[in-house]
Amino acid sequence: MPFDRKTLIIPDNTRFEEHLIVTNGDVIICDRSILEFGVKTDGRVFIGEGVSIEGDVYADNDIRSDIFSVIKGNVYSRANVYLGERVKIEGKLSLKGDLDVGDNVEIKEGFEAKGWINIRSPIPLVIYIFIYLLQLLKLGKSEEIDKILRELEEGGDELIPVSETFLFIPEGAMIGLQKSRVGYNMRIGSNCKIIGNYDIDGNLSVGNKTRISGSISSIGDIHLGKEAAVDGNINSKGEVKIENKVVVKGNIYASKIILSKNATIGGALFAENGVTFVQPSIHKKMKEKVKRFENNTDVVDEIKEILE
């Protein structure tokens, strides 16, 4: 499934516990992010450059950390662990596979590895690119050099294919126990339990039966799926759409509110452009009617009724 590198994605069935995020599939934590939780997954964990993780990291598969990252808890992997230069682990490292570490890696409480241990001084990727470009210059292949530089320049906005299930924390995001900051959009799956107050510089989508123990603030649109729950306030400069059987314990502030009549709001509603109440069954029939009209199925049904 493709995704952009700015959107924070939390997959279905993810649980925020007191100091630990429990999820499924791969976990990708991008450069200079701050995570005031630990992570536990049955997939792999990829940690970017200069990342700070407050808790423990558990993975059934590989764990890879880029340079200058800090993990303030223990690290455990049932597979291999790769640690870049100057990575710091303040707890203990335990793994059942191979350990590959760069220069000046610090593991305060020691490590236990079942496989091979390789200590290296890796050449940064930029050096490999530089050497390759020098060789191309010597061969006079200026067109190929231009192509490579174009691809490197445009690479920041390309879509990246990843596994079907993943948790993705974009560059510079902060996921905190009390306050979280997301610089772009955020997408939360179904059946999740999320802790914290979120300040989002984009749109927010919340899946069915997901509970957020905190407040939400967004400069974009907010959509709450069926039977979702928010324990605090909702504040949006865009449109807030609330589906059937949603429970919001606080106030809702938005440009426009579209509210299912079966939703429960504990506080007040404030909307500059008004509040629209939608009957769930009627709204569903209207969507089905539009879809059938677009597919020309209504015409066929009407002829069938006449013949009967």
Task: Identify whether residues 65 and 15 lie together within a single domain.
Answer: yes
Q: What is the pTM (predicted TM-score) of this model? A: 0.78
Confidence of residue 121 (pLDDT cuts 50, 70, 90): low
Task: Identify whether residues 17 and 100 lie together within a single domain.
Answer: yes
Task: Identify whether residues 74 and 137 lie together within a single domain.
Answer: no
Task: Identify whether residues 138 and 40 lie together within a single domain.
Answer: no
**What's 146-171 look like in SS3?**
HHHHHHHHHHHHCCEECCCCEEEECC
From 111, 139, 157, give the residue that closes a domain. Answer: 157
Does residue 173 belong to any structural domain of this protein?
no
Instruction: Answer for the pair 276, 285: CB distance below 8 angstroms, yes or no.
Output: no
Query: Between 37 and 160, whose confidence is greater?
Result: 37
Does residue 291 belong to any structural domain of this protein?
no
Does residue 288 belong to any structural domain of this protein?
no
Does residue 256 belong to any structural domain of this protein?
yes
Task: Identify whether residues 17 and 115 lie together within a single domain.
Answer: yes
Confidence of residue 118 (pLDDT cuts 50, 70, 90): confident
Does residue 189 belong to any structural domain of this protein?
no
Lowest mean pLDDT among 87-91, 92-96, 106-110, 126-130: 126-130
Q: Say how far apart CA 185 and CA 4 lie, in whole Å.
A: 10
Tell me the residue range of the domain where 129 lies: 125-157
Which residues have CB under 8 Å from 33's CB, separation 6+? 48, 51, 52, 169, 170, 171, 172, 173, 174, 175
Query: What confidence score (pLDDT) does residue 140 get?
Result: 65
Instruction: Answer for the pair 26, 163: CB distance below 8 angstroms, yes or no.
Output: yes
DSSP 8-state class, residue 122? P
Task: Identify whether residues 152 and 249 lie together within a single domain.
Answer: no
**Is residue 134 helix, strand or coil?**
helix
Task: Identify whether residues 84 and 68 lie together within a single domain.
Answer: yes
From 59, 94, 121, give the residue that closes a domain. Answer: 121
Task: Identify whether residues 277 and 206 lie together within a single domain.
Answer: yes
Which residue in 184, 195, 173, 181 sits closest to 34, CA to CA?
A: 173
Does residue 243 belong to any structural domain of this protein?
yes
Does residue 33 belong to any structural domain of this protein?
yes
Task: Identify whether residues 21 and 92 lie together within a single domain.
Answer: yes
Query: What confidence score (pLDDT) does residue 164 get?
Result: 72
Task: Identify whether residues 132 and 235 lie together within a single domain.
Answer: no
Task: Identify whether residues 136 and 204 lie together within a single domain.
Answer: no
Does residue 186 belong to any structural domain of this protein?
no
Query: What confidence score (pLDDT) does residue 142 get?
Result: 64
From 121, 144, 167, give the residue that closes a domain. Answer: 121
- pLDDT tens digits, one per residue of 124-182: 555 555 555 666 665 666 666 566 666 655 555 445 445 678 999 999 999 999 999 99
Number of domains into which the chain is organized = 3
Per-residue tokens: 84: 């870049």
Query: Between 306 and 192, whose confidence is greater?
Result: 192
DSSP 8-state class, residue 15? E
Task: Identify whether residues 48 and 100 lie together within a single domain.
Answer: yes
Which residues have CB under 8 Å from 28's CB, separation 6+? 46, 48, 162, 166, 167, 168, 169
